[in-house]
Structure 1
Amino acid sequence: IDDKERQYMSLIENDLQPFYPKFVTAFTSQSPVEREIGRCAVVEFGSSSDRHQTMHFINSTNLHDYLSDSDIDTVCTHAPADSPPRRRLFILEDLPANHTLALGSRLRIPPSFFARQWNDPASPTFNHRDIFKRSSSSQFLLRYATSNPVTISAQAHTQTNVYVFDTNVCRYLHTYKPDGLVYDEPRSHHTLSFWSSSIKVNGSWDAVLLVDPPPTRYVKCVPSGERVPIQHGAGVDSRITRLFLNPELELLQELPRDTSQWSRYRSMPQYVSLFDDTLLMITSESQHPVDKPIDAVEIPRRLIISTLMAFLRRRYLNLLAVQRSHLRPHHAMRHDYLYNFSEGYMSKWHDEFYNFVVGTISAMREFAREIEDNVVALNIRPSRKRPDAGRPPQWESDGWKSIQDLTQLVDSMINSLATSYLQYISIQEARVSNANAQSLSKITVLTMLFIPLSTVASIFSMGGDFLPGEKRAWVFWVVATPVLLGLAWLY
């Protein structure tokens, strides 16, 4: 660590402590191995005739040497007047301390940029967004959710359903109970952060993109901290949807004339590692000039939209599956998912059903609010005062509008399910109460009718000839039989 990195570490320890105490503690306590866990690469964007150059850094020393030899201010000062601008995008996965210090100190990045990336997106945090500048083209932070095709041993499932990623950033893996109302792939919440420097006189700039790592080979149980191995890849459980739910990233009006270019449109991201998918698509995409820093991260912005759409589509299918029964096959129309409500799984009161309904409604409200924050952060809100040059591309506006529409659809579905469930349970309770009242009234009438019968029996039993076994004992049955027949006829 050189002098610049020491001063940057001091800035993190002193200035960020009141605002991000957990990040400061976790960052400063990284072990020597953890300080190197993470991947970093740089993409140097050339002109329209030059290919984009990609370089992977083996370790933080390699990154440190690269930054020391290519300081953008030094290059711009000593470069010839006719030299092309230098435009670079650094992509950092996870937050290893050595890489973070090298990038932050050399590019003069505010340390809060890294602290906001570390925080758990699903936890109640307040400083992850700038309240005085809600949108900016030079930096943004997006929070999103995704499903992970991994499985955890059944023994660990009995202990908890929340696990901690074995990474430097604070991320959690939320699993479903195997015997629960909904059983699906584990879900997690992530953050994508972007920062860019000011554009220099000759058009040069530096930008940094922070991405989250995928689940590794282990996760940690909460709260014991025990490491549990996980298996990557989809399982064989029929309750989990195996459909590929991500939309196409780019739909063309027609294919190019050159058939050799058609194969480019068959390539698709794997949706496992955002780091790998971003670099893969940047190198495979046709080369086009990147003038502004925000244009350099078009691909990860598309990937986030696609990931959110797949996550919401999975929630939509899960809600449809809640009402499935032996009378509701998998190919039932989506319009009729509440048609046989009284024959579905939620036709009886159960605490688990109520918890599911209330929890899902609350989660969808928070999810919709987070989507709205993302839209504001990307400056997608329409404004008549904003010139066309400052507006986001149409594909991005339409993509986030599609996410908001699907969010409203899922929210309306769970609200319809909640309303139907509570109304049906109320009707059931009313019917049970009426049945109990009718039974009580019958018992009351029978009691009142048996009073005179008992009186007759007591009177007849007073005489000696009317006692059982005497010659006039038959009189009791002559009187009691019509009364019993009358009661049987009435009821």
Structure 2
Amino acid sequence: MDPSDMCSSHTCLSESSGSTYNNLNEKELEYMSLIQNQAQPYFPRFTAALAEQTPVEREQGRCAAIDFTDPQGHQATSFATVAELDLYIGDASPPPYHTDTELPRRRLFVLEDLPCNHLLALGSRLGIPPSFFAGHWEDPASSTFNHRNPFQRCALPHFRLRYATSNRVEVDCPTPGNTKTSLNMFAFDSRVNRYLHTYPREGLIYDEARSHHGLSFWSSPAREDGSWDAVLLVDPAPGQQVRCMTTRKLIPLRQRLADETLMPKHFLNPEFDVLDELPQDCSQWAACCSSPGYRSMFDDTMQSFCAKGAKVVATRDPLSVVEIPRRLVISIVVAYMRRRYLNLVSIQNSNFRPHTQRHDYLSSFSKSNYSIWSGEFFDFIVGSRAAIRVFAREMDDNVVALGLDDAHCSAPQWERDGWQSIKELTNVVEETVKALAAGYLQYVTIQEAHVSNGNEQSLSRIAVLTMLFIPLSTVASIFSMGGEFLPGQPRAWVFWVVAIPLLAMVAYVYWYQQLMRAWQGRKEQLLPMFTTKK
């Protein structure tokens, strides 16, 4: 590229952000120009967001490197500034903790968030395509199309996973809009496009806030000496503040709930690492049984590498060093789907308790919240069916991205079993939604039929009264033809002598049929009881 073009692109990006980029080397300037020219048509919002980062935001991000050069162990290094990261990447000499200088250099860089300076340092030094960062920036819950390559859906060792999770936090502000029907959305105070969806306190569900995240992995091809570099992109936790979508103001998050009874806590994450047998050394038991905190993917990943007695993995394949993040995604998705199932049961049954038998939650459908017609319930059912289908599709895409749909794939069995469990759990939730939808519509139809029958019975009573008065009208019409049978005349009594027996005969014919039908029905009900006693 001509230097003048590179500088013009750099100036364009700088002017759009309202500031200038300083201390960028030639490679980083070239990479910035590549983002502006190549990624912008396919990811316009990403390039705009990158340009809008302030000088402080370009440095806000956590980054660390894990060196797997030594097969006996690994060494983790955290970087306080981008300058330290740049020096670490560019240093070709072996680190002081390596005793054998002939070992191939194998490093995994873990980056939380997408600050511009870290992105430029990693992308320009390691030769990472800009679409890797751009696809990770996009909101996983939005209708984006270029976050995966349609021409190569499984591009191992690269992959991108999208998943949903729950966050036990509350937004410390009044909820805008219709509090009974709307979900409230707040933006993360981060450099990736992530949102926090909260449930209104007066709505159908009041549960932990949910958010959608991505986990992206890229690695260089193995070089002639067996060395490689890999990058793992993880999303930040909601943090201490979120941004209101309407006012654009930062709002504090409350980690401690105002009322624990409104949002009961369930232990929904599966056991992370099941051991066949405890180690012989009892001092290692606590470390073996430790579980992730599920607050930050970055912290949980680094904890797994830095924990005492951490398992040494085979480092020939870059995919082997990111098993822990892939396990975390499976565990998070399982807990998320379990929570969806509990929400469905709790909405259906107003007296729901955690110990309710799973096969009894539909046993009292007529006494549940779905026993009357409500547009709110109907919207919830339709929306839930659509949401679970989209979720199932996204999980299928994750399976394809990891190559697990291929029978000849060499993926570990735990990963196959984990995603199979997610698929089965998703089917359970989907079938539950279908059962609720079918039962709800059928019950409403039955109620409408009862109302219709009541209206028909009212009309039938009116018809009976009309039928009873027809003989009187007929007789009155006949006798009104002669003067002696009119009221006040000598033979007026003849009208009543004829009308009353006729009216009694008509009533007897009608009510006799009704009584016989009622008696026949009662007889059929009592007959089995007498037969059983004999």
TM-score by length of 2: 0.82
Write out aligned runs for 1:191-210 (5 A): 191-210=214-233
Cα distance between partner residues in 2 of 1:235 and 1:88: 44
* Alignment root-mean-square deviation, CA: 2.8
Query: Which residue number in structure 2 is paired with residue 129 of structure 1?
Result: 148
Write out aligned runs for 1:397-476 (5 A): 397-453=416-472
Query: Which residue number in structure 2 is paired with residue 61 of structure 1?
Result: 83
Aligned with 2:190: secondary structure? coil
Query: Which residue number in structure 1 is paired with residue 17 of structure 2?
Result: none
Query: Which residue number in structure 1 is paired with residue 371 of structure 2?
Result: 347
Query: Which residue number in structure 1 is paired with residue 245 of structure 2?
Result: 222
Q: 1:343 to 1:102 in 2, by over 3 A?
A: same
Residue pair 1:219, 1:227 contacting (<8 A) in 2 also:
yes
1:329 offset after TM fit, Å? Answer: 4.7
Residue pair 1:290, 1:296 contacting (<8 A) in 2 also:
yes
Aligned with 1:372: secondary structure? helix
**Alignment of 1:47 onto 2:70:** yes
Write out aligned runs for 1:108-123 (5 A): 108-123=127-142
Aligned with 2:160: secondary structure? strand
1:175 offset after TM fit, Å? Answer: 1.4
Query: Which residue number in structure 2 is paired with residue 375 of structure 1?
Result: 399
Residue pair 2:313, 2:320 contacting (<8 A) in 1 also:
no
Residue pair 2:234, 2:297 contacting (<8 A) in 1 also:
yes
Query: Which residue number in structure 1 is paired with residue 272 of structure 2?
Result: 249
Q: 1:231 to 1:473 in 2, by over 3 A?
A: farther
Residue pair 1:347, 1:425 contacting (<8 A) in 2 also:
yes
Match of 1:85 among 98, 104, 110: 104
Residue pair 1:142, 1:374 contacting (<8 A) in 2 also:
yes
Q: 1:226 to 1:475 in 2, by over 3 A?
A: farther
1:127 offset after TM fit, Å? Answer: 0.6
Bigger radius of gyration among the two: 2
Q: 1:464 to 1:60 in 2, by over 3 A?
A: farther
Give 5+ residue unaligned stretches, structure 1. none
Match of 1:2 among 11, 22, 25: 25
1:113 offset after TM fit, Å? Answer: 0.2
Deviations 1:61-100, CA, capped at 9 Å, x for gaps = 22222223x25xx879xx9996111111111111000110
Query: Which residue number in structure 2 is paired with residue 144 of structure 1?
Result: 163
1:135 offset after TM fit, Å? Answer: 1.3
1:290 offset after TM fit, Å? Answer: 2.2
Q: 1:217 to 1:485 in 2, by over 3 A?
A: farther
Higher RCO structure, 1 or 2 (CA under 8 Å, sep 6+): 1
Q: 1:10 to 1:484 in 2, by over 3 A?
A: farther
Deviations 1:131-153, CA, capped at 9 Å, x for gaps = 12111332100000000011013
Aligned with 1:334: secondary structure? coil
Deviations 1:32-76, CA, capped at 9 Å, x for gaps = 121112111111114343x321111112222222223x25xx879
Q: 1:479 to 1:265 in 2, by over 3 A?
A: farther
Residue pair 2:66, 2:74 contacting (<8 A) in 1 also:
yes
Cα distance between partner residues in 2 of 1:487 and 1:228: 76
Aligned with 1:42: secondary structure? strand
Cα distance between partner residues in 2 of 1:80 and 1:297: 25
Match of 1:19 among 29, 42, 54: 42
Deviations 1:216-264, CA, capped at 9 Å, x for gaps = 2222222432332211244534242401211112111111111111111
The amino acid of 1:91's aligned partner reads V
Cα distance between partner residues in 1 of 2:214 and 2:195: 12
Cα distance between partner residues in 2 of 1:80 and 1:276: 29
Aligned with 2:247: secondary structure? coil
Greater mean deviation of Cα atoms: 391-400 or 445-454:
445-454
Q: 1:451 to 1:135 in 2, by over 3 A?
A: same
Q: 1:472 to 1:282 in 2, by over 3 A?
A: farther
Query: Which residue number in structure 2 is paired with residue 331 of structure 1?
Result: 355
Cα distance between partner residues in 1 of 2:28 and 2:499: 105
Cα distance between partner residues in 2 of 1:476 and 1:184: 76
Query: Which residue number in structure 1 is paired with residue 380 of structure 2?
Result: 356
Give 5+ residue unaligned stretches, structure 2. 1-23, 515-534
Match of 2:52 among 25, 29, 50: 29
The amino acid of 2:322's aligned partner reads V
The amino acid of 1:298's aligned partner reads E
1:447 offset after TM fit, Å? Answer: 2.7
Q: 1:177 to 1:473 in 2, by over 3 A?
A: farther
Q: 1:475 to 1:329 in 2, by over 3 A?
A: farther
Query: Which residue number in structure 1 is paired with residue 390 of structure 2?
Result: 366
Q: 1:398 to 1:329 in 2, by over 3 A?
A: closer
**Alignment of 1:303 onto 2:328:** yes
1:456 offset after TM fit, Å? Answer: 6.3
The amino acid of 2:371's aligned partner reads S
Match of 1:103 among 122, 125, 135: 122
Residue pair 1:466, 1:475 contacting (<8 A) in 2 also:
no
Q: 1:254 to 1:445 in 2, by over 3 A?
A: same
Cα distance between partner residues in 2 of 1:324 and 1:135: 43
Aligned with 1:156: secondary structure? coil
Greater mean deviation of Cα atoms: 258-267 or 356-365:
258-267
Aligned with 1:120: secondary structure? coil
Greater mean deviation of Cα atoms: 120-129 or 179-188:
179-188
Query: Which residue number in structure 1 is paired with residue 311 of structure 2?
Result: 286
Cα distance between partner residues in 1 of 2:358 and 2:210: 24
The amino acid of 1:363's aligned partner reads A
Residue pair 2:138, 2:192 contacting (<8 A) in 1 also:
yes
Residue pair 1:36, 1:60 contacting (<8 A) in 2 also:
yes
Cα distance between partner residues in 1 of 2:364 and 2:37: 61
Aligned with 2:371: secondary structure? coil
Query: Which residue number in structure 1 is paired with residue 283 of structure 2?
Result: 260
Query: Which residue number in structure 2 is paired with residue 313 of structure 1?
Result: 338
The amino acid of 1:179's aligned partner reads E
Residue pair 2:313, 2:321 contacting (<8 A) in 1 also:
no
Aligned with 1:381: secondary structure? coil
Q: 1:464 to 1:94 in 2, by over 3 A?
A: farther
Cα distance between partner residues in 1 of 2:161 and 2:499: 85
Aligned with 1:339: secondary structure? coil
TM-score by length of 1: 0.89
Residue pair 1:140, 1:194 contacting (<8 A) in 2 also:
yes
Q: 1:237 to 1:81 in 2, by over 3 A?
A: closer
Aligned with 2:175: secondary structure? helix
Match of 1:184 among 207, 214, 230: 207
Residue pair 2:235, 2:297 contacting (<8 A) in 1 also:
yes
Residue pair 1:46, 1:289 contacting (<8 A) in 2 also:
no
